[in-house]
């Protein structure tokens, strides 16, 4: 029986993780759950999974949850609030596995803490690695933690790698393992064929309606701009110790292949399946074993198209920015991620247009790209400065609209 802590339990990844737990009560026990604000959803999860501790980062939400738990007669569950409680949560000795599924840079400190506490860390929160890169990988190497990728592409790449590379996350060399390239696939999102002159009028509802995947709102917008693929490009660099030239983005609208590894001898190994996050989650939770994830088996006779193409940077300027950031260094990556979080939120609040996201990101990245970062405080400081610069740009655009 493994003890599990789910950070971001009320989100899309949290929900899918708890579905795997539901299917395997003999293997996993929920020790703790965390969320930001969604009280009603967390209350339901408490009733079902009976965790020992819950952290609501928002203090009002924590008070409301306490009341609800009293009303429903659950006096055993400890409810805490704030970032510090989140960090303490992952250190608990009963916790073996930490699912890091908070959205955005807010996930960085608790995820890093889980690594330092030698846990088996399942990384969905790609922003943690994007914002802190080498610092995160160094912490991993200084610990006895195991890091397993949850992002479907990185989980697919992991599955296509030979054992020495799987064991050497962040440090093994592809060249020592006969690998020539990592092929990162992406669907191209909902606007792959939309005429470019219509991009100005894209609404949040349209951007959040991904053709293949059901995800949280921030990552859905990132998928529509392909910033998500850009963040994944940076994530792949750190997870698999790659240089930007080792990674190729391949458009694959059907999302059947979740990514591939190309070997020196011409072999290409792909991981495929239906687009359902329970597959990578179950893979990482049970690794190196395999367990049922409740996912429909893939039916090749119903698969009519299998298309591939190149990503067009005019359509996806955010992808271009992220690849440039990956080449430029940590300052550019941290600043770009922060700007993007602010810009996406402003777009979701209908304060700016879809096309403004890339303009804000480019401007902020340019301002901070030469900043040197060598510690977590440096990451947090740049994150906050870049957010401030992005907010200023959002305000300017709002005045114009
Ligand atoms: P979501 O918006 O559905 O859920 C986010 C979760 O984080 C919620 O539980 C929320 O309460 C919590 N949260 C938000 N802000 C917080 C804060 N400041 N402090 C603490 N907790 C906070 O997001 P999601 O789609 O589940 O994505 C989570 C992470 O997984 C993201 O980093 C995303 O890029 C990554 N990811 C998601 C998918 C997917 O299919 N949804 C796929 C690959 C990777
Ligand atoms: Mg992904």
E strands in 264-382: 268-272
Instruction: Let me know whether 190 and 259 are in one domain.
Output: yes
Q: Check if the beta carbon of residue 123 is closer than 8 Å to that of residue 41.
A: no
pLDDT at residue 162 tops 90: yes
280 belongs to a structural domain: no
Give the residue carrying structure tokens 């840079």.
105
**Domain final residue pick, 96, 114, 149:** 149
Domain boundary among 88, 114, 149: 149
Residue closest via CA to ligand 1's atom 6 equals 8
Cβ atoms of 392 and 370 within 8 Å: the answer is: no
Domain of 63: which CATH number? 3.40.50.720
Same domain for 202 and 339:
yes
- The ligand whose atoms approach the alpha carbon of 152 most closely is 2
pLDDT at residue number 55: 98
Cβ-based neighbours of 349, under 8 Å, separated by 6 or more: none
Average pLDDT over residues 123-146: 97
What's the rounded Cα separation, in Å, for the pair 191 and 312? 12
Beta strand extents in 238-282 (DSSP E only): 247-251, 257-263, 268-272
Strand (E) or helix (H) holding 6: strand 2-7
| 3-state SS assignment for residue 179 | strand
- The percent of residues above 70 in pLDDT, for the chain, comes to 100
Q: What is the pLDDT of residues 231-271, one digit of tens each?
A: 999 999 999 999 999 999 999 999 999 999 999 999 999 99
Q: What is the mean pLDDT of the chain?
A: 96
Query: Tokens 């340019």 sit at which residue?
Result: 366
Beta carbons within 8 Å of 229's beta carbon, 6+ residues apart: 184, 186, 223, 249, 311, 316, 319, 322
| CB distance 280 to ligand 1 below 6 Å | no
Q: State percent of the chain over pLDDT 90.
A: 95
Look at residue 213 and tell me whether its pLDDT is greater than 80.
Answer: no
| Minimal-distance CA residue to ligand 1 atom 36 | 124
| Full DSSP string of 191-250 | TSSS-GGGGGG--HHHHH--SS----HHHHHHHHHTHHHHHHHHHHHHHTT--GGGEEEE
Give the total number of structural domains in the chain: 2
Quote the domain boundaries for residue 367: 172-274+311-400
For residue 156, give the ligand nearest its CA. 2
Answer yes or no: do 36 and 130 share one domain.
yes
Tell me which residues have their CB within 5 A of the ion that is ligand 2: 151-153
Looking from the CA of residue 214, the nearest atom of ligand 1 is 40
Which protein residue has the closest C-alpha to ligand 1 atom 9? 8
Residue 279 lies in a domain: no
**0.75 exceeded by the pTM?**
yes
The tokens of 100 are what?
Answer: 């890091």
pLDDT band at 345 (very low <50, low <70, confident <90, very high): very high
Residue 398 has pLDDT above 90, yes or no: no
CATH number at residue 323: 1.10.1740.10
Same domain, 118 and 205: no
Q: 354 and 262: one domain?
A: yes
248 and 324 belong to one structural domain: yes
253 membership: H or E segment, kind and range: none
Q: Which of the four pLDDT bands, split at 50, 70 and 90, describes residue 185?
A: very high
Whether residue 360 is predicted with pLDDT greater than 80 in this model: the reply is yes
């Amino acid at each position: 029986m493994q003890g599990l802590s789910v950070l971001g339990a009320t989100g899309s990844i949290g929900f899918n993780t708890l579905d795997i737990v539901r299917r395997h009560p003999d293997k996993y026990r929920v020790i703790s759950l965390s969320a930001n604000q969604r009280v009603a959803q967390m209350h339901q999860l408490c009733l079902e999974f009976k965790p020992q501790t819950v952290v609501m980062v928002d203090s009002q939400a924590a008070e409301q949850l306490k009341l609800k738990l009293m009303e429903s007669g659950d006096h055993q569950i400890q409810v805490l609030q704030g970032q510090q409680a989140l960090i303490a949560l992952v250190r608990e000795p009963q916790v073996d596995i930490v699912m890091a599924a908070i959205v955005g840079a807010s996930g960085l400190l608790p995820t890093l803490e889980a690594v330092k506490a030698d846990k088996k860390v399942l990384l969905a929160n790609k922003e943690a690695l994007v914002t802190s890169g080498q610092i995160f990988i160094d912490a991993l190497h200084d610990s006895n933690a195991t890091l397993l990728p949850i992002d479907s592409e990185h989980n697919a790449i992991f599955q296509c790698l030979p054992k020495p590379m799987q064991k050497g996350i962040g440090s093994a060399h592809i060249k020592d393992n006969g690998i020539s390239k990592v092929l990162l696939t992406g669907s191209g999102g909902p606007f792959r064929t939309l005429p470019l002159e219509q991009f100005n009028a894209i609404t949040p509802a349209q951007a959040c309606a991904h053709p293949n995947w059901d995800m949280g709102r921030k990552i859905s917008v990132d998928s529509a701009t392909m910033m998500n693929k850009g963040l994944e490009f940076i994530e792949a660099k750190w997870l698999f110790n790659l240089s930007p030239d080792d990674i190729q983005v391949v458009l694959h609208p059907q999302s059947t292949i979740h990514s591939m590894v190309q070997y020196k001898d011409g072999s290409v190994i792909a991981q495929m399946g239906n687009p359902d996050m329970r597959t990578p989650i179950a893979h990482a939770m049970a690794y190196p074993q395999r367990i049922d994830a409740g996912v429909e088996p893939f039916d090749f006779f119903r698969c009519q198209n299998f298309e591939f193409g190149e990503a067009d940077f005019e359509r996806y300027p955010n992808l271009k920015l992220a690849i440039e950031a990956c080449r430029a260094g940590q300052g550019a990556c941290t600043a770009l991620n922060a700007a993007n979080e602010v810009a996406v939120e402003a777009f979701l609040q209908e304060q700016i247009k879809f096309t403004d996201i890339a303009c804000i990101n480019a401007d902020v990245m340019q301002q901070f790209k030469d900043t040197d970062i060598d510690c977590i405080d440096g990451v947090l400081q740049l994150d906050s400065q870049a957010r401030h610069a992005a907010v200023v740009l959002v305000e300017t655009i709002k005045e114009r609209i």
